[in-house]
Amino acid sequence: MSLVNLLDLDQPGLAKFFVELGEKPFRAKQVMRWIHHFGMIDFEQMTDIAKPLREKLATLAEVRLPEVKVEQISDDGTRKWLIAADASNGIESVFIPEDERGTLCISSQVGCALECTFCSTGRQGFNRNLSVAEIIGQLWLANHALRQDPYYSQLSSSDRIISNVVMMGMGEPLANFDNVVTALNIMLDDSAYGLSRRRVTVSTSGLVPAMDRLRDECPVALAVSLHAPNDALRNEIVPINRKYPLKELMAACQRYLEKAPRDFVTFEYVMLDGVNDKPEHARQLLSLVKDVPCKFNLIPFNPFPDSGYKTSSRDNISRFRDILMQEEYVVTTRKTRGDDIDAACGQLAGQVQDKTRRVEKRLSIPIQVSQEIDQSANQTTMDDLVN
């Protein structure tokens, strides 16, 4: 019989596990605290649990963390971990320290099936969803690594090094809905990490039905990857737009805000030179979002080999930002962090054994036709994912 990995369970899941063992449900809270709050994974050390139960647990369960393959530390303090998903696949997480907060950027899938044209993860294809243990394991491992660092050693165990989590690593979190929500529950649980809903952000390219489910099942802060102000352009660069066009996406944002912990949506907008960064795009954007309380996060495009895109110039980014700011919007321009270790947005590559055969198709088909064939391939993969 295989052992149950307790890292896959949130508190209700653990309570069910204990009840099925004939134990009291409150054991769930104790075990949650040991594993996630204290970072203790050895049952023998869980001293407020009676010895017979500890022994029983050791025969039925385990706390199996994913394995860290490589840790890199940037000159600016940003850290990146390559974490094994299995022998041939890996994912990445990134910690970004700032004065007032520490943010961990977490992955949700090995690769991504949604094929946004400017995204390195999207280019790599898709292998599989991460399990709950692999998602929450990224937070456990990062916490553990940072606590070992002498730089943070003066902090007490109640101080948080990681105050914010953003689901902005590899993958589309809402395409791995159930596992992501269970992992979010653990992040928010006071017995585990106790993060505020306002400080946990899910970023989505716009899977409308899943946005509605998130609103009902686990509302946290929401970021939406907009990147284009009209359907024609967004269909090209964020192909999921063909299934959920902008009108539907804007309506979903409005519905989300009815229950969201923050009273705005953050629209992410990658600045691609000559593609989506002209003043007319900024003006179209203003009219698109007029009914959705929002902030904007402009992300200078982070290049990767053979992307085919260039980063917008500083002047074009400022001009774009100013048009939005004239209408009183809050606009931030994302600083590139961890440049020297390729840890910036959209650069997370991990290691992906593509199951969609996308990379193969792109390489073997002449450019003119590849567009057409690729699009039909997209459709199949995306349909599989969102239905």
Which stretch in 16-24, 113-121, 137-145, 276-284 sits in contact with ligand SAH by CB under 6 A?
A: 113-121
Nearer to ligand SAH, 9 or 96 (CB): 96
Helix (H) or strand (E) holding 61: strand 61-62
Q: Which does 299 bind (CB under 5 to 8 A by kind): ligand SAH, ligand SF4, none?
A: ligand SAH
Choose, by CB under 6 A, the member of 11, 205, 241, 297 that binds ligand SF4: 205
| Distances 37 to 10, 30, 292 between C-alpha atoms, Å | 13, 10, 37
Q: Which does 270 bind (CB under 5 to 8 A by kind): ligand SF4, ligand SAH, none?
A: ligand SAH
DSSP state of 339: G
Bridge partners, residue 323, by sequence: none
3-state SS, residue 192:
coil
Spatial distance between the Cα atoms of 18 and 14, rounded to a whole number of angstroms: 6
| Distances 83 to 98, 110, 131, 170, 187 between C-alpha atoms, Å | 23, 11, 13, 12, 19
Which stretch in 82-90, 118-126, 189-197, 360-368 sits in contact with ligand SAH by CB under 6 A?
A: 118-126
Nearer to ligand SF4, 92 or 172 (CB): 172
In whole angstroms, how close is the CB of 239 to ligand SF4 at the nearest point?
A: 9
Bridge partners, residue 126, by sequence: 111
| Distances 121 to 25, 38, 42, 91, 384 between C-alpha atoms, Å | 41, 33, 35, 10, 18
Q: Which residues contact 38 (CB under 8 A, 6 or more apart)?
A: 157
Give the residue at shortest CB distance from ligand SAH.
346
**Cβ of 273: how many Cβ atoms within 10 Å?**
15
3-state SS, residue 175:
helix
Choose, by CB under 6 A, the member of 116, 139, 250, 298 that binds ligand SF4: 116
Q: Which residues contact 26 (CB under 8 A, 6 or more apart)?
A: none
DSSP state of 59: H
3-state SS, residue 220:
coil
Spatial distance between the Cα atoms of 37 and 35, rounded to a whole number of angstroms: 6
Under rule CB under 6 A, which residues in 153-182 are in contact with ligand SAH? 168, 172
Question: What string marks each residue from 261 to 300 as x (binds ligand SAH by CB under 6 A) or -?
Answer: -------x-x----------------------------x-
In whole angstroms, how close is the CB of 220 to ligand SF4 at the nearest point?
A: 17
Nearer to ligand SF4, 121 or 356 (CB): 121
Determine if 172 is a binding residue for ligand SF4 (CB under 6 A).
yes
Choose, by CB under 6 A, the member of 14, 32, 82, 112 that binds ligand SF4: 112
In whole angstroms, how close is the CB of 5 to ligand SAH at the nearest point?
A: 25
Which stretch in 18-26, 201-209, 228-236, 319-327 sits in contact with ligand SAH by CB under 6 A?
A: 201-209
Nearer to ligand SF4, 8 or 172 (CB): 172
**92 classed as catalytic:** yes
- Active-site residue, selected from the candidate residues 55, 92, 98, 253: 92
Site residues, ligand SF4 (CB under 6 A): 112, 114-116, 119, 121-122, 171-172, 205, 225
Catalytic residue list? 92, 345
